[in-house]
Chains A and B, each alone.
Chain A
Amino acid sequence: MTHRNGTAVRIETAAYASHWQGVAPSAKALFALGGMGAAWVATRPATLAALAAVLALAALIGARVPLRTYVAVALPPLGFLLLSCLTMLATPGVDGSWYWAGSMWPAVVRTAGRSLAMLAALLGFVLTTPLPDLLALLRRLGTPDLLLDLMALCYRMLFVLRQAWIDGVTAQDARLGYGGWRHAWRSTGLLVGQMAVQVWQRAAALQMAADARGYQGLLRFLPAVFPHARRQNAWAGLAALLLLLAAAGDRV
C-alpha cells in the first residue's frame, strides 16, 4: 500500500513553505476578506473571472504556492461547483423528465464566477497561513479559548494519528495484511479498533505531559511576532480596497 498526502497535509505543507509565511496573518486575512467582498459585489462574469485570476496569481506568484498543490487543493471544491452548476442547468420538469434549462446560463456563469473568486481568496489565505498563526489571530479577535484549545489539539493530533495510522498500515502490510480484499477489510478493522485505544492513551499521556509543565486549565502559547505587521496591514488594506473598487465598477 502507498500513502498519499491528503488535502489537509498539502495545505499545511504549502503554508509552511509559502513565501508569505512571514507576513502578518492579519494582513493576509484582510486581503482575503477584500477578495471575498469584491466577489460579493461584482456582477459581471468578466470581472469575477479577472478577480479569481488576480487572487489565484497572487497566491501562485506572490506567495510561490506550487501550482500542483494549488490545483490538488482546489479540485474537490471545483468538482462540487461543477456538480452544482450542472444541477442548475439540468432541471426536472413537472412531467418527471429532465430538460436543459438554457435560460439559467447567465445565473450559472455568475454563480460559478463568484464561487471561483471566493475560492481563490480563501485558498490564498489558507495556503499561506500555518494554522498556529491563524489560531493566534483568532485569539486576538476574541474567539473563545475552549474552541481554540480544541482546534490546537485536533490539529496536532491530526499529524500524530496520521503517523500512527501509517505505521500501523505499514506493519500490517509487512505481514501480508492487505493481500486480498478480505485481509484488507480485516486489517483495516483491527487498525481502527487499535487506533481508538491509541487515541484514548495519547489523550491521557498529553494530559500528563501538560500537567508536568504546570497546566492550569488553559493551553497558552506564545504568539509569533510579525515586526512589519502594521506596514503589511496597510498594504493589504490598500490592495483589498482596490479589489472592492474594481468590483464596485460593475454596479455603477
Chain B
Amino acid sequence: MKPLIEMKAVGHVFADGSSGLRDCSLALGRGRRHALLGANGAGKTTLLQHLNGLLRPSAGQLLLEGHPYDYGRHGLAQLRRRVGLVFQNPERQLFSAQVEEDVSFGPLNLGLDEATVRARVEAALDMVGLRGHARRAVHHLSFGQKKRVCIAGVLAMAPDVLLLDEPMAGLDAPMQDELAALLDRLAARGTTILLSTHDIDFAYRWADDLHLMAGGGVIASGPAQAVGADVDALEAAGQRPPVALALHAHLVTRGVLPPGPSPRSVDAVLDALRTLPIKPLMRTPT
C-alpha cells in the first residue's frame, strides 16, 4: 500500500550549523498507529516538525500521497489542514486565554464559517472530555487538561494525520490511559497517528509500527513485533527491550508458557499465565 507520508533521505541543518536530521527516511502507512522512539537529541521533534512543514529539509524530500510537499503559502495551509501537530509543552502552544477560543483558532484559519467552527470546537472538546470547560480560562486548568486542550485544538482541524510530540510526558497513569483511549478512538476512525515517546512498553503495546531513531536518522522501521524484537536496533536507539517481550521469553525458556507469538503487554502475559492450572510449589531437597 502506498504510504500516506514519506520522507526520503531528509537532512536538516539548523541555523547554528548543528545537524538535526541526517539521511532520514520514513514511511507512514495510512490509518496506522505509529510510534517514534529514540534517545534525547535523536531528532524526534525535528522529524515531527518536518512532517508538519514547520521545518524544511536541507536535503532530500517529503511526499504526501506521492506528491512532494508544497512549501508555498497555499500549499502549507493545505498541508497543515491534513497534518496536525500537538507540541510537547502545552504552555508553548496555547495562546488564547480561553479554552473555546484557543480550540477555534485552527478551524477559523481554515476559512470555515462560524457555525461549522462552533460545531467542530464542541465535537473536539467532547472528544477530549472537556466540553464543560469550554469557557474556562486556560491558566486555570491542570497540566493534563491543558494538554487535552492542545489536542482538541488540532482535532478541530480534522486532520488525516495526527502528530504528537511526547504526549504522555508529564501525565499521571490515569491520564495516560485516558489519552491512550482517545488515540484508540481516533485510530478507529481512520486517523493516522504518529507519536514520539520514551516509553517502549507503551509503544510496543499500542503501536502497529515502531520507528527507531538515532543520530538524526531512522535506523529501524516496521511492525511493532518485529522491531520490538530487534535487540541490536533497540540498543542503538538507546532503548531496552519491551518488558512484555523479555518476560514472555523467560517464561517460555523455563517451560512455563508454550512457545508462540509474544504478547504485546505485561497484562497479556499475565492473562496467559492465568489460563495455566495452579500447581503447588515443589520443595527442592537440600
Stretch at the interface among B131-139, B175-183, B271-279: B131-139
- Flag whether A235 is at the interface (Cβ < 8 A): no
Chain A contacts of B154 at CB under 8 A? 213
Q: Which residues of A contact B94 (CB under 8 A)?
A: 156, 209
Rounded to whole Å, the gap between the CB of B42 and the closest CB of chain A is 20
Judge whether B97 and A132 touch: CB under 8 Å. Answer: yes
Q: Is the CB of B96 within 8 A of A163?
A: no
- Assess whether B98 is in contact with A214, with CB atoms less than 8 Å apart: no
State in angstroms the CA–CA spacing of A221 and B114 once bound together: 10
Are A213 and B138 in touch, CB under 8 angstroms?
Answer: no
Please, which residues of chain B bring their CB within 8 A of the CB of A156? 94-97, 138-139
Q: Is the CB of A222 within 8 A of B95?
A: no
Interface string of A199-238 (1 = CB under 8 A from B): 0001001101111111110011110110000000000000
Of chain A, the residue at the smallest CB distance from B101 is A221
Query: Is A89 located at the chain interface by the 8 A CB criterion?
Result: no
Q: Which of A152, A214, A221 contacts B157 (CB 8 A)?
A: A214
Q: Does B105 contact A (CB under 8 A)?
A: yes
Number of A-B contacts (CB under 8 A): 103
- Inter-chain contacts of A209 with B (CB < 8 A): 87, 92-95
- Smallest CB separation, A155 vs chain B (Å): 5
With both chains docked as a complex, state the minimum distance between the C-beta of A42 and any C-beta of chain B, in angstroms.
Answer: 36
Beyond A214-B77, A214-B80, is A220–B100 a contact (Cβ under 8 Å)? no
User: A126 — which chain B residues lie within 8 A by C-beta?
Assistant: none
B140 interfacial contact with A, CB 8 Å: yes
Contacts A163-B139, A221-B105; A131 near B157 (Cβ below 8 A): no
B183 to chain A minimum Cβ distance, whole angstroms, is 19
Q: Tell me if A212 and B80 are in contact (CB < 8 A).
A: yes
A216 and B105 contacting across the interface, CB-CB below 8 Å:
no
Partner of A214, one of B102, B109, B137: B109
* Interface pair B54/A206, CB less than 8 Å apart: no
Interface centre among A131, A153, A208 (most CB of B within 10 A): A208
Q: Does B196 contact A (CB under 8 A)?
A: no
Contacts of B93 in A (CB 8 A): 205-206, 209
Alpha-carbon distance between A220 and B84 when the two chains are bound, in angstroms: 18
Interface residues in A150-199 by Cβ distance below 8 A to B read 152-153, 155-156, 159-160, 163
Partner of B117, one of A219, A222, A224: A222
Chain B residue numbers with a CB within 8 Å of A220 are 104-105, 108-109
**Range of interface residues on chain B?**
35 or more
- Is there an interface contact between B109 and A222, defined as CB atoms closer than 8 Å? no
Residues on A with C-beta less than 8 A from B139 are 156, 159-160, 163
B81-127 residues at the A interface, CB under 8 angstroms: 81, 84-85, 87, 89, 91-98, 100-102, 104-106, 108-110, 114, 117-118, 121
Q: Bound complex: CA of A210 vs CA of B92, how far in Å? A: 10
Secondary structure dominating the interface of A: helix
CB proximity of B128 to chain A, nearest CB, Å: 16
CB nearest neighbor in B for A149: B95
A72-89: CB near B (< 8 Å → 1, else 0) gives: 000000000000000000
> B20 interface residue, CB < 8 Å from A?
no
Closest to A208 in B: B54
Is A219 a contact of B137 with CB atoms below 8 Å? no
A9 to chain B, nearest CB (A): 9
Of B84, B87, B92, B104, the residue contacting A222 (CB under 8 A) is: B104
Question: Counting CB contacts under 8 A, is B228 at the interface?
Answer: no
Asked whether B153 is an interface residue with its Cβ less than 8 Å from the other chain, the reply is yes
Given contacts A155-B97, A209-B87, A211-B54, contact A16 B136 (CB under 8 A): yes
Which B residue sits closest to A21, measured CB to CB? Answer: B135
If A156-B96, A209-B92, A211-B54 touch, whether A216 touches B137 (CB-CB below 8 Å) is: no
Q: Which residues from chain A contact B135 at a C-beta distance below 8 Å?
A: 21, 224
Alpha-carbon gap, A247 to B208, bound state (A):
74
Known: A130-B98, A130-B137. A221 touches B92 (CB 8 A): no
Task: Report the bound CA distance from A205 to B94 in whole Å.
Answer: 10
Q: When A220-B108, A224-B100 are in contact, do A213 and B118 touch as well, CB less than 8 Å?
A: no
Whole-angstrom distance between the Cβ of B219 and the nearest chain A Cβ: 27
Q: Does B52 count as interface, using CB distance less than 8 angstroms? A: yes
B136 / chain A contacts, CB cutoff of 8 Å: 16
Contact of A213 among B80, B89, B98, B101 (CB under 8 A): B80
From A21, A163, A202, give the contact of B92 (CB < 8 A): A202
Q: Is the CB of B108 within 8 A of A212?
A: no
* Shortest beta-carbon distance from A136 to chain B in Å: 9
Q: Give chain B's interface residues, CB within 8 Å of chain A.
A: 49, 52, 54, 77, 80-81, 84-85, 87, 89, 91-98, 100-102, 104-106, 108-110, 114, 117-118, 121, 135-140, 153-154, 157
* 11 A-B contact pairs sorted by A residue (CB < 8 Å): A159-B97, A206-B93, A211-B54, A213-B84, A213-B106, A213-B153, A214-B80, A216-B77, A220-B105, A221-B96, A222-B117
CB-based closest 7 A-B pairs: A222-B104, A214-B109, A221-B101, A213-B106, A205-B92, A159-B139, A220-B108
